[in-house]
């Protein structure tokens, strides 16, 4: 769909479900790599970001379609791993 805004043609960005799934999987793999590099288990990371089980961390790292890291999760994980949030997206 294309619309005009201040006389500029603007097209809505469209992403397929597959693209979105791959995006979240890439972030999960990146978190997993960084977590392992720091020598933390899924349970340790889970505790450090305020969870009592590994369901979020394990599910998001595995790429389950219904379990994803939110921006808040990524912010907390970045603090624990002592990295910048942007590194999850590189």
User: Can you give the three-state secondary structure of the chain, one letter per residue?
Assistant: CEEEECCEEEECCCCCHHHHHHHHHHHHHHHHHHHHHCCCCHHHHHHHCCCCCCHHHHHHHHCCCCCCCCHHHHHHHHHHHCCCHHHHHC
pTM of the model: 0.84
Domains and their CATH numbers in the chain: 17-89 (1.10.260.40)
Print pLDDT tens along the chain (90 aa): 567 667 777 777 788 999 999 999 999 999 999 999 999 999 999 999 999 999 999 999 999 989 999 999 999 999 999 999 999 999
């Amino acid at each position: 769909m294309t619309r005009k805004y201040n006389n500029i043609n603007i097209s809505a960005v469209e992403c397929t479900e597959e693209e979105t799934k791959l995006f979240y999987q890439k972030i999960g793999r990146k978190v997993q790599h960084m977590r392992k590099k720091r020598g933390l288990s899924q349970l340790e990371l889970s505790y450090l970001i305020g969870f009592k089980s590994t369901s979020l961390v394990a599910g998001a790292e595995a790429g389950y379609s219904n379990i994803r890291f939110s921006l808040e999760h990524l912010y907390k994980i970045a603090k624990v791993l002592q990295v910048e949030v942007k590194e999850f997206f590189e």
